[in-house]
A and B are shown apart, each in its own frame.
Chain A
Amino acid sequence: VQVQESGPGLVRSSETLSLTCSVSGDAIRSFYWSWIRQAPGKGLEWVGYMFYTGHTNYNPSLKSRVTMSVDTSKNQFSLKLTSVTAADTARYYCAAFSSDWYFFELWGQGALVTVSS
């Protein structure tokens, strides 16, 4: 299974960050697809996850600014984060979360997003 993030690497402060995760094969229906971010030099922070049915769950600290969506015809799911600040500068990973044993089985290489003022 191939997992690939894509999107702009630079976003202006107060604007909206948009990323897409492309998934090969039928894997998009097999996992809870998650966004996890990692600020430079920092640890992992879960942003949210989505199932192909549309069920979502977001990190409470980001919930007011996060929207995730899925396009099963394109095997893609997307992340939008509004009103970004420098604190949102991070590498954003797309990861497959297994609901059988509750772990992140597959990871994309990540997309670095820098918020500029």
Chain B
Amino acid sequence: QPALTQPASVSGSPGQSITISCTGTNTDVGRYKFVSWYQQFPGKAPRLIIYKVSERPSGVSARFSGSKSANTAFLTISGLQPEDEADYYCHSYAGSDTPGRFGGGTKLTVL
């Protein structure tokens, strides 16, 4: 079960927008509309911020948005704020009887 591919790190200044990519294959990201994203602060549990490619759970800021093109999903954070500095993980469904695959994680630094 190879992991989905994410950049190890991204950075941006307050107020800017950044995009994190999550590349899979036509057996996971490319086949299903079930990509989710998780935010994790140091020493804390991951928190769901996007599901079903672009849906936001209640309570998640509208500055977080998701999209997908072919085998790659994207998480965009607009109006970057210092408190967005965290690790971000993507996950994709990969077929029945499996919980799918995680990305390797991306560390976001707000300069």
Residue of A nearest to B102 (CB): A44
**CB <8 Å contact, A46 and B52:** no
Known contacts A43-B3, A44-B46, A102-B99; 4 further A-B pairs (Cβ under 8 A): A46-B99, A102-B36, A102-B100, A103-B52
For the complex formed, measure the closest distance between the CB of A36 and the CB atoms of chain B, giving whole angstroms: 8
Complex Cα–Cα for A19 and B56 (A)? 31
For the complex formed, measure the closest distance between the CB of B92 and the CB atoms of chain A, giving whole angstroms: 8
**CB <8 Å contact, A32 and B99:** yes
**CB <8 Å contact, B45 and A108:** yes
Complex Cα–Cα for A104 and B46 (A)? 9
Instruction: Tally B residues with Cβ within 8 Å of A.
Output: 26
B47 contacts chain A at the CB level, 8 A cutoff: yes
**CB <8 Å contact, B102 and A105:** no
A67 contacts chain B at the CB level, 8 A cutoff: no
Q: What are 6 residue pairs bridging A and B, where the CB atoms are less than 8 Å apart in the complex?
A: A34-B99, A44-B89, A103-B36, A103-B48, A104-B36, A108-B45
